[in-house]
Structure formats: C-alpha cells, structure tokens
Amino acid sequence: MSTKIKIGILGCRGIPNHYGGFEEFAEHLSKGLVEYGLEVWVYNSHNHPFQESFWNGVHIIHCYDPEYKIGTAGQFIYDLNCIIDSRKRNFDIIYQLGNTSSSIWHRFLHSKPYRISNMDGLEWIRTKYSNYVRKFLKYAEKTAVKTNDLLIADSKAIQDYVLNTYNRESVFIPYGAEVFTNQDENKLNDFDLKPFSYFLLISRLQPDNHVEEIINGILLSKTNIPLVVIGSYKNSKFGNYLFKKFNSRQIRFLDSIFDKNILNQLRYFSKLYFHGHSSGGTNPSLLEAMASSAVICAHDNLFNRAVIKENGFFFKNEDDIAKISKQIIFDKSKYQWIENNIQQIKEIYNWDKIISQYNELFIKIAKIK
C-alpha cells in the first residue's frame, strides 16, 4: 500500500457538480478527504465540462460515456469503462456510488481494493420504470449487497431496510448541506418574484417525483399563488409534456439552474417548498431546502419522514396539496420547524462531520486490509 490511502470514487458523472446528488456528494467528499491527506481519484464522463486532470487536489479520470448518444444504456457502458480503468490504478479502496449498473460488472473489479457501495435509494420501486427494469434493479441491489465488503446507507430508513431484507449490517453516514445565511431578496428581481409570494418546486421532471400531482394540487387550491418549477423541461419527454400542458402565469417553468446561491435564494424566499421525491434515501435537494430555511411540504414516505421528522407538511395526493397550500398564510418566521431543521443540518447533516466520519472509516479499513 502507498504512503497515502488511495481511494477511487466511481458511479458519478463527475466533479465539479453539473448534474445531481451523487456528483454534489462526490465533490464535497473528495475535496474534504484530500484535505485530510488521503489520495482521491474521481471518475468523470469524457464530455464533462471540467476537462482538467486535477480539481482542488483531487485526481480526475475521464472515461468515455456514450449516454449522450444512446440514452440510459450508456450509463452501463460508462460504469464498465470506469471499472476497467480502475484495475490499473492500484486503489486501496473503491467507493461505488449507487449499485444500478456497477453491480452487474463486479466481476471486472480488481480483487485487491476493499470494495464499498453506497446503497442509494430503492430504485426498483420507482414507477417510471417498466416491470422488467424494476426486476433488474432489484437484482442489482441484491448483487451489490452480496459482492461488496462494506455497505453505506445514507438514510436510517435504508439501513433498516438492508438489515431486514438481507440480514446485512451497514454503516450509516448521511449526505450533507451547508446552512444558507447570505440572503438577498434583490436576487429575485431577475425572476420577477417577490419574497414569500410564490411556491417552489426543484426537481428532475419525471412521474415518480410527483410533479404533476403538485401542479394539479396548486391549481385545485385556487390560491392564485404562482408555482415556480425548476427542472430541465426542454430535454425531458415528461417535462415537455408538463410544460405544454401547464405553463402559464400561475405555473411558471424555469430550466435547470446550477448556481447554488441563486437556488438557495429562491428556496429561502419561497412561501412553500415542495419536495416530491419518493424512493431515495437522504435526498440532497431536501437537505438543501432545510438548510435554506424553507418551509417544506414533502411527499409522505418513510425516507422523507426519516429526515425532516415532524418539521414539515406531508402530502399523499392532490387534495392534500390543495389543503396545505391554503394553510400557508403566516410569515415563515412563525414556524419552529425551520429552526429544528437548521439544527439537524448542524448536528447530523454537517459536511465537516460527515467527511470526518469517512476519513475515520477509511483509515480503519486501511489498517485491517
């Protein structure tokens, strides 16, 4: 083993983040571990906007990713390319983010590195997939549990699920977020919005994120408060359908926004923030809403309840959304929920604490290998 612990992070499209939750996580984790003195390598898609070989001390490896040409199947080829490349890197630890496609390629991993998998959410329950795909995702989950040396759950609910379903212990380490304190209502001017006068939804525009139900619930409420929908509707069949059906003065579609400061401003000054995710573990966008002092209305499932507990509204259908939308008549300072959620970010979902936990875990693993 080299002087430094050498870690390869697979399963994301690359850093710095230009896509989603795993990329945001990989960005924070890799940079933090380098600051602890570990040697970290992160795999990036070949066409990632960042084309350098180093980012804040993190080694970047670009691998061919044909997803832009052939769609979802390209993710499997990209993961395989990353795994094949990892065989020559002499890693001490390989950390795989998610298990959807990497689990079927586990035989191609080098036998030397200690293998860790982040279990992510229960992908196989997502209704956007066909029955065949859902069966495959369940198989992939089972394979990941059997073939990795260690499992990490980002949610207590996922940790319980893995134990109850597979009789396998896992380590709970959540995602993190940073408390937002740089509020500036002037940032709303570009969007023609006024503080606490709009509802907000930030999501990938797909059916199992309950976007259409949220929109219908807002329209059903007849509050005339606009709902701002942030998501890539131009490059999504379902998103394009929603845009054509609902785009109006009350349902306002914005394309994806990657500027964290702007997103946090929009979250903070929203009257109510909707979170429709239903199958993940600790969802990063939910943590970011909590850290931005948003009043949250989340889809009612065990994953979301495990995170915000009683500190938010929960909905199961359009009628719930309509009813809750009518209840939002007080200034957000009235809600103890916000203070409780911020406290959770500081105590549990704190990046410094999370990275310290990973550092201690990886050092422990290196000693027993």
Least Cα distance to 293 among 265, 329, 261 occurs for 265
Beta-sheet pairing, 58-63 with 54-55: antiparallel
pLDDT 10s digits, 346-365: 999 999 999 999 999 999 99
Q: For residues 174 and 152, what is the distance between their CA atoms, to the nearest angstrom?
A: 9
Query: What percent of the chain has pLDDT above 70?
Result: 93
The domains spanning 6-176+350-368 and 185-347 adopt the same CATH topology: yes
Q: Report the CATH fold assignment for 6-176+350-368.
A: Rossmann fold (3.40.50)
Residue 1's pLDDT is: 42
* Residue pointed to by tokens 């379902």: 238
Mean pLDDT throughout 119-148? Answer: 76
Average pLDDT, the chain: 90
Q: Structural domain boundaries of the chain?
A: 6-176+350-368, 185-347
CATH code of domain 185-347 = 3.40.50.2000
Q: Quick one: tokens of 50? A: 């960042």
**Tens of pLDDT, residues 158-170:** 899 899 999 999 9
- Most confidently predicted of 67-81, 120-134, 136-150, 263-277: 263-277
pLDDT digits (tens, 9 = 90+) for 313-338: 999 999 999 999 988 765 565 689 99
Q: Are 266 and 199 in contact, with CB atoms under 8 Å apart?
A: no
Confidence of residue 105 (pLDDT cuts 50, 70, 90): confident
Task: Name the pTM for this structure.
Answer: 0.86
Give tens-digit pLDDT for 32-48: 999 999 999 999 999 99
Contacts of 292 (CB under 8 A, 6+ apart): 180, 264, 267, 268
